[in-house]
Amino acid sequence: MPGGELLTSPYTPDFLLAGESLDLDDDLPQLAVEALDRVLGDDSEWRSLWGVAEVSEFPQINKLRAVLSGPPELPGQIALI
């Protein structure tokens, strides 16, 4: 995804390391954001399993959500749907 980190894990598929990309539906990033919002929501079972401790995964999930959401709209921009 544009704005995401380069994949350098040894588990990254070779075609991605070679610079190729996945052909994904345009609505997939928004669906992923909605799923992450449910995971981070107050009524999330995942969140309740971690308890009230400061969970180290939350900042990573928020970072992933920001990349999936794309750049924020600037004042005066019109969102095209």
What are the pLDDT digits (tens) for 47-74?
A: 777 765 556 667 888 888 888 888 766 6
Q: Give which of 65, 79, 78 is closest to 31, Cα–Cα.
A: 65
Whether the model clears a pTM of 0.75, i.e. scores above it, the answer is no
Residue 5 lies in a domain: no
Whole-number pLDDT of residue 19 = 83
Please count the structural domains in the chain.
1
Percent of the chain past pLDDT 90, that is, above it, reads 14
Whole-number pLDDT of residue 30 = 93
Structure tokens at 48: 């309740």
Residue 11 lies in a domain: no
Mean pLDDT score across all residues of the chain: 79
User: In which domain, by residue range, is 29 found?
Assistant: 25-81
Q: State the Cα angle at 52 between 50 and 53, rounded to 5°.
A: 75
Whole-number pLDDT of residue 81 = 46
